[in-house]
Amino acid sequence: MRKNISPAVLICGLFIWLICPKNLNAKQIVCPVCEISSIKQAIEIAAAHDTLLIKKGTYKEFNILIDKPLTLLGENYPVIDGEDKGEIIRIESDNVTVDGLFIINVGTSYTADHAAIRVVKSEHFVIQNVVLEKLFFGIYLEKSNNGKVYHNKIIGDAVNEYNSGNGIQLWYSHNVVVDRNIVQGTRDGIYLEFSDNVAIKDNISSNNLRYGLHFMFSNDDVYTDNVFENNGAGVAVMFSKRITMHNNIFRKNWGTASYGMLLKEIYDAEITGNTFEENTIGINIEGSNRIKYRNNEFANNGWAIKVRGACYANTFENNNFLYNSFDISYNSKVNDNVFSQNYWSGYTGYDLNNDGVGDVPYRPVKLFSYIVNRTPETIVLLRSLFMDIIDFSEKVSPVFTPDNLVDAEPLMKRAE
């Protein structure tokens, strides 16, 4: 390829570079002892498409408004201290990049959602390598599309839901990529409202007060390879359509009102290859239709799946249910969902023709689980001998549990 570039082109390029070297990509240097010692001042001076190189130091500033396409590049993580006075950076221009800053002390307010970085009605923004601490809201995208939130670390110290904010919040923001972020100790780790076509990948969301990831009225979103650990509830997906959930790990969302995943009014979603481990309730499903559950692993949960009602035409295939206290809890006698070719660790049937599929159908709903649904207080009889006996008799001749709620082809070995 190199041979194809003629000397003429080279000379021409050199000429252009000589004529306008600085206007294209000027660099403004900001440091506490420099000529330009504040970020606000630097933004004022800068021309569009400039890069502001912010040197190491502490900048006590808030309400920094970026209203032209700029790149804010931090060197060795300069600290921007908002001193709890309010919002810190507000972006109101397209093509803004914020990179490598350490932002602390966002003001808490009960009337305004102060954020460390807020993007308003802007496109093509990139927010990366930013560390946020002592925050109210972290990164707040408001009607901003086609951007990227990449490799940030958000560490909150939220104690109460009413006076804490979300780590990363998207509001009416479409086509955004949220990738490799670490969010902990906020209210909702990542929150999406009215945001479509968002891709959420490789994030770790843990120890958040409410949800690790929360969808509201957001459609066609994808989240893959994320880890949700020890949150109030791992992921809450509500009132959304066509959400794809792949290869995520939901772990240790354990407590009296905790879930791995909470589905409410979800249609046509796909849940595949996820791992649900040690959650009080693996998936809590309410009013959700046409969802495909495939190749998921449910291990050591209290309830693997709790179906609350109005759930139709869902299919559960090739999932592994391993050592959960209850595999499925179901609150009605009508069943329109299909369970097929799953592996159940509680299965005691046999496989005479050795085709890997058990010859006796498996009934995942135990009588005890049915009783607990009716009268929640009866849970105090958990692990009592009497319950084991009636579970056994129900297994032999089902009376109370839905007749057609069976896995007619239970696997003998764990699904891959």
Partner 1 sequence: MLKILKYSFYDLMRSRWSYVYFLFYLVLGFVLLFLNNDLSKAVITLMNIIIVLVPLIGTIFGVMYYYNSKEFTELLLAQPLKRSTIFLGQYFGVAGSLTLSLVLGLGIPFILYGLFRSDAIFNFVLLLVIGAFLTLIFTALAFNIALSNENKIKGFGYAVLLWLFLAVIYDGLFLLSLIIFEEYPLDTFSLAATMFNPIDLSRTLILLKLDISALLGYTGAVFKKFFGTDLGLIVSLAVLLLWTVLPVQRLAFKAKRKDF
Check residue 155 for interaction with partner 1 (CB under 8 A).
no
Among 251, 246, 319, smallest CA distance to 280 is for: 251
Separation of alpha carbons 261 and 281, rounded Å: 8
Q: Which is nearer to partner 1, 37 or 345 (CB)?
A: 345
DSSP 8-state symbol, 36: S
In the complex, the smallest distance separating the C-beta of residue 282 from partner 1, rounded to whole angstroms, is 12
Chain residues 337-396 in contact with partner 1, contact rule CB under 8 A:
371, 374-387, 389
Could you tell me the smallest distance in angstroms from the CB atom of residue 306 to partner 1?
11
Question: Which C-beta is closer to partner 1: that of 32 or that of 255?
Answer: 255
Coil, strand or helix at 138: strand
Q: How many residues bind partner 1 (CB under 8 A)?
A: 24
Closer by beta carbon to partner 1, 6 or else 256: 256
Q: Provide, rounded to whole angstroms, the least separation between the CB of residue 393 and partner 1.
A: 12
Stretches 136-144, 150-158, 180-188, 248-256: which one binds partner 1 (CB under 8 A)? 248-256
- Of 34 and 389, CB closest to partner 1: 389
Are 319 and 344 spatial neighbours (Cβ–Cβ below 8 Å)? no
| Contacts (Cβ under 8 Å, ≥6 apart) of 391 | 366, 367, 368
Question: For partner 1, which residue of 207, 254, 270, 313 counts as binding (CB under 8 A)?
Answer: 254
33-92: contacts with partner 1 (CB under 8 A): none
Strand 64-66 to strand 177-179: parallel, antiparallel, or no bridges (unpaired)?
Answer: unpaired
- Does position 280 bind partner 1 by CB under 8 A? yes
Q: How far is the CB of 379 from partner 1 (least distance, A)?
A: 5
Q: Which residues contact 307 (CB under 8 A, 6 or more apart)?
A: 285, 328, 329, 330, 331, 337
Per-residue x/- mask for partner 1, residues 203 to 242, rule CB under 8 A? ----------------------------------------
* Interface of this chain with partner 1, residues 319 to 338, rule: CB under 8 A: 325
**In terms of CB distance, is 43 or 281 closer to partner 1?**
281
Distance CA 290, CA 287 (A): 10
Contact between 22 and partner 1 by CB under 8 A: the answer reads no
Contacts of range 247-252, beta carbons closer than 8 Å, 24 or more positions apart: 247/272, 247/273, 247/274, 248/223, 248/224, 248/274, 248/275, 249/274, 249/275, 249/277, 250/274, 250/275, 250/276, 250/277, 250/279, 250/282, 251/227, 251/275, 251/277, 251/278, 251/279, 252/277, 252/278, 252/279
Closer residue to partner 1, CB minimum distance, 10 or 379: 379
> Whose Cβ is closer to partner 1: residue 64's or residue 262's?
262
Least separation in angstroms between CB 337 and partner 1: 23
- Token couple for 415: 């699904």
Please give the residue ranges that form the binding site for partner 1 (CB under 8 A): 254-256, 258, 280, 302-303, 325, 371, 374-387, 389
